[in-house]
Amino acid sequence: MAEGPVSRQELIRRRRGGGFVGRRRELAVFRENLARGPGADTYQFLFHVHGLAGVGKSTLLRRWETAAQEEGAVTAVVGEDVHSAIEAMETISDQLARQGCALKSFDKHLAAYRQSCHEADAASAVPAGDGEGGPAAPASSSSAFAAQLGVAGLGLVPGIGAFSSAVRPEHVAAGLDRARAALSSRLRSHDDVQLVLSPLKVLTPQFLADLGYVAGRRPWVVLLIDTYERTAPLLDSWLRDMLITEAYGTVPVNIQAVLAGQGRLDAACWGDSLDLVTEIPLQPFTEDEARALLAARGVTDERVVEVILRLSGRLPVLLDALARSRPQGVDAVGDPSDTAVERFLKWETDPARRDTILACALPLHIDEDIYRAIAPDYSTDGFRWLRGLPFLTEQAGRYRYHDVIRAPMLRVQRSRSPVQWRQRHAHLASAFGTWRRDQEEGLSPDGYWDDAAWRDHRRNETYHLLCAQDRSALPEALHDTVRACGHSAESLRRWAQLLLQAGQDSDSDDLVRTGRRLLEPAGRVSGDVAALTVLLTTPGLGTEGQALAYALRGRQYRLDDQYDRALGDYKAALTLNPDLARAYGGRGNTYRHMRRYEAALTDYGQAVRLAPNASLYFINRGSAYYQLRRYEEALADFDHALGLDRHNAWAMVFRGMLHHRVHRHEEALADFTDAITVDPEYAWAYAARGDVHLTQGHHEQALADLDRSLALEPDSAWPRCWRGETHRALGHYEEALADFDRAIALSPECGWFPYQSALVMRLTGAPAEAHQWQRAMDIYEAKALSAEGAGDLARSNLLVLLCALPDWERAEEQLRSFLSYSPSHHQIGEALDDLADLQRTVPVAPDMLASILSRLRDALGAT
């Protein structure tokens, strides 16, 4: 916006506002850009300020922010405390709200995201020492979430279940995304699942939409991203996609962004967009600018000026820090061994304040509580004085020393008095430990890592223990880093930064190396294995920490289908800690993925013995019994799980599916209804209840439940198939075919869906019938060669399919093959149920079918 005439006094006020000296050219560039207006060809919407630490980038950003506000802009500043794009959006939203421009819809979606993550975490959370997965990351991958449930891929997870009207275990191999289905079964809607699995894809468009609304009401929206050298690995791609492309929607042109960091933008990310970025390189002040700043602070003695110029390197932050006390004379001004910090402290005449300045540099950040723990004579005025020092910057109510000042202050204290250095850090560790324990009073041990305040206290406590060189600190710090791996990628990154910072500040090369090695994989999507491998090869990690690291790495290997490696890591974990229930549970899950159900049962038994109050292990073991068709034992475990947690909707649904399998349909309906009462948005509970209604011939009730399930989770294949079967029974053939087509698209490797589609096509005379028969045939013939559950059920379904064609000669051969594998009572019963359903659906030769049914009944009587 064009600027009107101003008075001489106003011009002087602006130039001196906030003590800002120098950088006139850079300030002019920004003001002139605002004056052009967003429609001008020369208008710039993206700036990048870069230069050395202490060169004044943050100060310039604050001045630019003031200049923008003077033009009517609404502004937000994002600092290094954000550890994800979501946190960046939340920070911006909070600041805009304080300026009367709330992003209401985004805030609502963000709250929904937090709640969905909480529900997913609560669903997968495992009591201390008894869970295979531990607390999950709010935006963890679907497979990781499923691993934490410990029931992924086995057909017994609500939302995964592979069951027709008889709830068949063959459908375990249906090929759904196991973890997505697990999330779908727990969260309230498909939108909630997408929100947890792909939060940026959901939240960013809403963020931009709200930001666009604000931009329509205000002349400018200016977003300033400071200390970008630290946040670039987390924000680069997201910011580029948001500001340059339309990946998340359009961005109004009057939204300006300013990035400020030490280095240049990453060419690999920004390379083809650098022509759209206005680079503002900052160098140390010229001598004239430095002298002008000192004069503005009242430092005019040439001897003092020369010392300051030499010691500061003309870095603005050091110039300002050394000049603030306005020294009028110094002793030994030419002493080259003096440092900027020593010179600054020499000019502070109050010994108590001088000591307080040094002591308050020790913590990573300072607030009034920390100041109270540090300052020898605490007073509110003292903290007000401290936070007014020029080298402290405020972020979210806390203050941080500028790195250029803090680093030499730490070196001075560490070298001057190593004993006092250790004592002060030990004192701070004790303070943070007290606050951590106070925070624990309102939490269960399972919830510590999910509590942001607890994690913050724990990080600071650990940092100070490491700096105090406490001998017990390193093993516990490394153990906590292992726990951070199990919690989330953001937690891992924070703990890696903690180790690096503690190493730099305490002059420990080993810690620095460890922190850097961990930071490399910390930002990668699949960095858990690499990070855990680093930790396992780091001296100092204790036995329990190593055992946990092996268990967590084994989980990741299992998620990547590297079962042999997973088993190796679980074995190593149990060798180190034979009482680690999580390792038994994880190895049991691995065996179950490999269809080694007996081995899985053995490990689940150990997990149950070690963690008898963990309902999850009883559910896991019950599912293994279920796969082996040992239904009474499975029922006992599900009952026990509900005894431990009577509101566990999962256990209700699991038990309901078992009741359905053994034809106790009323008990199944009761369990599913109870689950829906506990969680009215439980999509799979509606689907499973709908399947029972379908089995009983209650088609309208089945349709209502299946419609509700698919409204909550539209991409679930089995509810789609069951609704197709219901439509077929009601004569709604067009709707049935549409549902079967969608089920096939969702799970193309499942033979049951094309089989059902072919039945409807026979009823309607559709020309594609032969194609669907062949498709189902190819799938079942391939699966009939596989082991255990998938193979025996495929042989049963192949028999049903050959009767439906009909191909009686091959059906007879398949019957002999099926019976040669000594199928169980329930397997034979399922084949009889399917043939009965076939007989009700399409015409088949009754004499030929009667012979097959008779031989199956004979075999059933013999089992």
Summarised one tens digit per residue, pLDDT across range 148-178 is 333 333 333 333 333 333 334 333 333 334 4
Residue among 590, 627, 597 at smallest CA distance from 163: 627
- Which position has the token pair 């490399």? 520
Closest CA to 486 of 182, 125, 120: 125
Bridging pattern class, strands 74-78 and 221-225? parallel
For strand 74-78 and strand 46-50, is the pairing parallel, antiparallel, or unpaired?
Answer: unpaired
Q: Is 835:853 a contact under the CB 8 Å cutoff?
A: yes
Rounded Cα–Cα distance for residues 744 and 229 (Å):
48
Report residue 252 as tokens: 């109004």
CB 638 within 8 A of CB 658: yes
CA distances from 182 to 91, 186, 188, 323, 595 (A): 31, 7, 12, 61, 19
How would you label 30-68 residue by residue, b for 16+ Cβ within 10 Å and e otherwise? bbebbeeebeeeeebbbbbbbbeebbbbbbbbbbbbbbb
Distance, C-alpha 360 to centroid of its chain? 34
Beta strand extents in 137-287 (DSSP E only): 221-225, 255-261, 278-281
d(CA 594, CA 786): 12
Q: Give the closest residue to 801 by CA, choosing from 767, 747, 755, 852.
A: 755
Helix (H) or strand (E) holding 781: helix 769-783
Amino acid at 338: D
Residues 118-124: contacts with CB within 8 Å, 24+ apart? 119/186, 119/187, 119/188, 119/192, 120/145, 120/183, 120/186, 120/187, 120/196, 121/450, 123/149, 123/186, 123/650, 124/148, 124/149
Please tell me the number of Cα atoms within 13 Å of 786 on its side-chain side: 15
Tokens of 551: 């268990």
Residue appearing with tokens 């430095």: 290
For 262, other C-beta atoms within 10 Å of its C-beta total 18
812 burial level (CB within 10 Å; 0-12, 13-18, 19+): middle
Task: Give one DSSP letter per residue of 748-768, joined into a string.
Answer: TT-SHHHHHHHHHHHHHT-TT
Whats the size of the chain, residue-wise?
A: 863
Q: How many CB atoms lie within 10 A of CB 338?
A: 16
Q: What is the distance between the alpha carbons of residues 669 and 655, in angstroms, rounded to a whole number? A: 10
Six-digit token string for 177: 């995304």
672: number of Cβ within 10 Å: 31
Helices (H) and strands (E) in the chain, counts: 43, 7
For tokens 């509110």, the residue is 380
Provide the angle, in degrees to the nearest 10, between the axes of the packed helices 581-593 and 543-559.
20
Q: What is the CA radius of gyration of the chain?
A: 33
List all residues 6 or more positions away from 339 whose beta carbon is below 8 Å from its beta carbon: 311, 408, 412
Nearest-angstrom CA–CA distance, 692 and 668: 8
Helix (H, G, I), strand (E, B) or coil at 278: strand
Burial annotation 346-360 (CB, 10 A radius, 16+ → b, else e): ebbeeeeeeebbbbb
8-101+218-281 under CATH 3.40.1410.10, yes or no = no
Inter-residue contact 634 to 657 (CB < 8 Å): no
Instruction: Measure Cα distances from 232 to 270, 470, 660 in Å.
Output: 11, 34, 53
- DSSP string spanning 299-319? ---HHHHHHHHHHHTT-HHHH
Report pLDDT for 51: 84
pLDDT at res. 328: 59
DSSP secondary structure of 100-163: T---HHHHHHHHHHHHHHHHHHHHH---TTT-SS-SPPTT--HHHHHHHHT-TTSS-STTT---
Amino acid letter at 673?
A: T
Token pair recorded at residue 37: 């207006």
Residues 841 and 172: their CA atoms lie apart, in Å, by 25
As given in the structure block, the two tokens for residue 278 are: 């206005």
Q: Using 50 as the pLDDT threshold, list the residues of the chain that sit under it.
A: 1-4, 6, 8, 11-19, 124-179, 330-338
Sequence-separated (6 or more) residues with CB below 8 Å from residue 699: 693, 726, 729, 730
Going by the DSSP 8-state scheme, the letter that residue 805 receives in this structure is T
Question: Quick one: pLDDT at residue 148?
Answer: 39
Over the range 719-753, which residues count as b (16 or more CB within 10 Å of their CB) and which as e?
bbbbbbbbbbbeebbebbbebbebbbebbeebbbb
Quote the CA–CA distance of 419 and 728 in Å, as a whole number. Answer: 82
CB-based contact 93:322 (threshold 8 Å): no
SS3 394: strand
pLDDT of residue 159: 33
